[in-house]
Amino acid sequence: MKRILITGALGQIGSELTMKLRDIYGTDNVIATDIKKNDSEAAQSGPFEVVDVTDLKSMVEIAKKYKVDTVMHLAALLSATAEEKPVFAWNLNMGGLMNALETARELKAQFFTPSSIGAFGPTTPKDATPQDTIMRPTTMYGVNKVAGELLSDYYFHKFGVDTRGLRFPGLISYVALPGGGTTDYAVEIYYEAVKNGKYTSYIDKGTFMDMMYMPDALNAIIDLMEADASKLIHRNSFNVSSMSFDPEEIAASIRKYIPGFKIAYKVDPARQKIADSWPNSIDSAAAKEEWGFKFDYDLDKMTKDMLEKLQQKLQMKIPS
């Protein structure tokens, strides 16, 4: 990777990935794009262009303008929001992906897009979900992700585009808030712990889902993109995860630092239904074997860092 174009660069992943890539590859070599500009560091610290990913001509023009050799396509509507707007989700998620793949094909660029554990469905094995298994999702987001994995495979086999991807679990970060995902509670709970010492979860106790701390997710993207292509059997997409927990376990982890923390429940049927269709835990063996996937953060290490960073960000002391 030398000249990198990122779509959805101001989202939860993109806002941090943009800055990390600029640190590694140089500020001017990472072109951030999104549907609109804001005052975030990702938008202000280096090249930025307003790009609508449903506009192929605009995307290709920007890619050619900066002579990019890598396209990282992050723009997407997330799971809970996609259920509310399924037609819009299909048009954005699939139309945007097709345009990004076409841009990569025209420029002979390397390509990355994230998939998700949302690609799995209720008939997928729930525990230690294998890399290769049945995928029959029951959400629009999941349908988009399965179709996206297949489309990326198609562009590799048909056109020789060097496509790569990861099936991300829920991603947890103190930098940018998530936007309409089923696993968002695992971010919100930390904010509420620091602000109020309590949280009401829309996901029920006993609901296990895979998660990953954002620093590990960013490293996984870069490690995969820098990996030797000849060693990749799977391309789109690799299971990756670093932990699996339910709301009770994350609350218990928080109590190690905020002993009085309380959790209550007001279950959201729509998001609970999505969560129930996903695996309890996934197997990352293929990623470890083919390109050396590893992670640094378990639940307690992540909790400690999240609470420390949020105290600084929110300029608040942890409730006693």
What is the structure's pLDDT at 179?
76
Catalytic residue among 25, 66, 141, 174: 141
What residue ranges of the chain have pLDDT lower than 70? 319-320
pLDDT tens for residues 127-160?
A: 999 999 999 999 999 999 999 999 999 999 999 9
| Phi, psi (rounded to 5 degrees) for 154 | -60, -45
Note if 141 is an active site residue: yes
Distance CA 233, CA 63 (A): 28
Give the pLDDT of residue 320.
63
User: Which residue in this structure is represented by tokens 């030398």?
Assistant: 2
- The answer to whether residues 271 and 203 touch, using CB atoms and an 8 Å cutoff, is yes
The three-state secondary structure class of 182 is helix
pLDDT at position 316 is: 84
What gap in Å lies between CA 282 and CA 136, rounded to an integer?
16
The full 3-state SS of 95-132, as one line of letters, equals: HHHHHHHHHHHHHCCEEECCEEHHHCCCCCCCCCECCC
Helix (H, G, I), strand (E, B) or coil at 265: strand
Supply the pLDDT for residue 285.
Answer: 97
Q: What is the DSSP letter of 263?
A: E
pTM of the prediction?
0.95
102: left (phi over 0), alpha (psi -120 to 50) or beta: alpha
State how far the Cα of 319 lies from the Cα of 307, in Å rounded to an integer. Answer: 11
